[in-house]
Amino acid sequence: MVEGGLLVISGLGAGAALMAGVRTRRPSPRPAGRLDPADVGLREFPARGAFVQYSAPASPACRVSLNRLAATVAVHHADAIVIELHGRAGDHGRAVPTVLYVDSSGEVVQRWAGPPERAELAELLAG
């Protein structure tokens, strides 16, 4: 019996639960409006925009996602940036990681509720 939100997983169940948390999720069909640069500690967004990730420090899925974002942005130097915020995304989503791609004007172009695919990230910054 499970009491008060306690869930005990052992053996193969633990591996399956871990992998379920790391899987890549499809982008959300509803981008979340606009984001003010000051809300994430910037004066303005870079020319190619910013990836904003809402994270939980102990989450394997958040680490996977953050590594993908950093690798994608690294080739664009100062033209794009990755911002990690700890905690829930509030109006932008409930799960962590929640990743937003924000263009230079602050418009949220894409939203994911999980680690984005590498190819999709590269395609967003290629244009």
Per residue in 5-64, pLDDT tens? 433 434 444 444 444 444 445 554 555 589 999 999 999 999 999 999 999 988 999 999
pTM: 0.72
Domains of the chain: 12-126 (3.40.30.10)
Percent of the chain with pLDDT over 90: 56
Element (DSSP H or E) covering residue 78:
none
Q: Compare 109 and 21 and report the one with higher pLDDT.
A: 109
Q: According to the model, what pLDDT value does residue 64 have?
A: 96
* Mean pLDDT value across the chain: 79
Element (DSSP H or E) covering residue 101:
strand 98-102
Q: According to the model, what pLDDT value does residue 54 have?
A: 93
